[in-house]
Structure 1
Amino acid sequence: MIRYETRNGVARITLDTPETGNKFTYKLMLDFIAALTSAASSGAAILLLDSTGADFTLGRDQSEKLENVSRRDSLKLILQANSRLRAFPGVSVALIQGRAMGFGSGLALHADISVGAHDAVLGFNEIKHGLAPLVVLTYLSDYVGPKIAKELIYTGRDVSAEEAVRLGLLNRSVPAAELQAEGERLVGELGHFHAGAIRLIHEFAEDLPDITNNDPGTIGIERLVQWIDAGKP
């Protein structure tokens, strides 16, 4: 259901259930979280997230019936997955082809860099399944603003790759036939940079919201100097 490997400083996670549109079942979600956990402890500075088949993922499997697992515990896995992806101690890259619905659009947002195929379609379509995507409400407006966030959540409408780039759901889009090659090119480019610098950027970016000092730039300088003095670990 998940293919995971670490090679040459790059952790790679591939969703691999194309016959179901890579829908996230409870088991797939557990495997995904485990892969993200392994990636974080692997020492890799780059994480590449992609999938097999026509679609990135159709989101969570809304038809799944679970025994001995509460609805609350199942939904909390969304928070774990989002948190693990954001916490990867380096730069994360997501390649989005076909449809990336619901949780799939969330993954595109939580990755640091998301590249979509020209035919990619994103959308928070939970409302169409009779659900209220309250978790999405906690972060979507940070990317697209509250007005657009509410529209996307209330309507659950499809968002083309072109519009997704305009709104900030994707960084850029490329022809579908070039998506994998663009991903490898980007990973190769990032791989030439100092891994410690990439990790330091991630660490400071994660800490910034909690820095209450009136001059976070000064704190940034102190961290940079300390890192250099420590030999750029």
Structure 2
Amino acid sequence: MIRYELTNNVARITLDTPETGNKFTYQLMLDFIAALTAAGKSGAAVLILQAIGNDFSLGRDHGEKLENVSRRDNLKLILKANSLLRQFPGVSVALIQGRGMAFASGLALQSDISIGADNAVLGFNEIRHGLAPLVVVTYLADYVGPKVAKELIYTGRDVTAEEAVRIGLLNRIVPAGDLASEGERLVSELTTFPPGALRLIHNFYEDLKNINDEDPALVGVDRLVTWIEAGKP
């Protein structure tokens, strides 16, 4: 269901249930969280999220019936996965082909770099399944602004690849047949850079929101000097 690989300082998580549109069942979410946890502890500088099949993922499996898991515990897995993705101590890259809906759109959005195939379709369509995506409400406006966020959440409409780039859900798009090779090209580029520099950038981004009493730029200078003088670990 989830394939995890670690090779040459690159962690790869591959969704591999194309027969279901790579929907995230409860077990798939657990496996995904385990893979994200492993990636975060691996020392890898780059994390790739990718999928087998025509679609990246149709999101959570809303039709799944769980007997021994509460609805609250099931939904809280979204928070865990989102947090682990954002906290990955390097550069996270999502490669999105076909549909990447709801939770999958969140993964594309919260990855550091997201490349879409020209046939990619994104959207937070939970409302169309009779659900209110309150978790999405907590972060979407930070990326696309409040007006766009409200429209996407209230309508649940599909977003084409071109519009996704324009509003900030994706970084760029490539022809569908070039998505895998463009991902490999990006990985090759990123792995030429010092891993410690990538991790330092990530950590500073994460800490910016908590720097209140100091000039963030001065904090950045201090961290950069400390890192250089420590031998660029």
> Taking structure 1 as the reference length, what is the TM-score of the superposition?
0.99
Match of 1:45 in 2: 45
Instruction: Tell me the matched-pair count.
Output: 233
Deviation at 1:43, TM superposition (A): 0.8
The 4+ residue runs of structure 1 with deviation greater than 4 A are: none
The answer as to 2:142 corresponding to 1:142 is: yes
Match of 1:29 in 2: 29
The answer as to 2:165 corresponding to 1:153 is: no
How far apart in 1 are the matches of 2:76 and 2:99?
Answer: 24
Q: Deviations over 1:69-119 (max 9, x none)?
A: 000000000000000000000000000000000000000011000000001
Q: Deviations over 1:192-220 (max 9, x none)?
A: 00000000000000000010034110000
Match of 2:98 in 1: 98
Which amino acid in structure 1 is aligned with residue 150 of structure 2? K
> Taking structure 2 as the reference length, what is the TM-score of the superposition?
0.99
How far apart in 2 are the matches of 1:86 and 1:209?
Answer: 14
Which amino acid in structure 2 is aligned with residue 212 of structure 1? N
The answer as to 2:151 corresponding to 1:118 is: no
Which amino acid in structure 2 is aligned with residue 111 of structure 1? S
Which amino acid in structure 2 is aligned with residue 171 of structure 1? N
Which amino acid in structure 2 is aligned with residue 69 of structure 1? V
How far apart in 1 are the matches of 2:142 and 2:10?
Answer: 28
The percentage of aligned residue pairs carrying the same residue is 75
How far apart in 1 are the matches of 2:150 and 2:126?
Answer: 13
How far apart in 2 are the matches of 1:223 and 1:90?
Answer: 16
Match of 1:187 in 2: 187
Deviation at 1:154, TM superposition (A): 0.4
3-state SS of the aligned residue for 1:225? Answer: helix
The answer as to 2:68 corresponding to 1:68 is: yes
How far apart in 1 are the matches of 2:188 and 2:86?
Answer: 21
The answer as to 2:58 corresponding to 1:58 is: yes
The answer as to 2:217 corresponding to 1:229 is: no
3-state SS of the aligned residue for 2:12? Answer: strand
3-state SS of the aligned residue for 1:217? Answer: helix
Match of 1:13 in 2: 13
Match of 1:203 in 2: 203
3-state SS of the aligned residue for 1:210? Answer: coil
The answer as to 2:3 corresponding to 1:3 is: yes
3-state SS of the aligned residue for 2:55? Answer: coil
Which amino acid in structure 1 is aligned with residue 222 of structure 2? E
3-state SS of the aligned residue for 1:11? Answer: strand
How far apart in 2 are the matches of 1:216 and 1:132?
Answer: 36
Q: Deviations over 1:133-164 (max 9, x none)?
A: 00000000011100000000000000000000
How far apart in 1 are the matches of 2:38 and 2:120?
Answer: 28
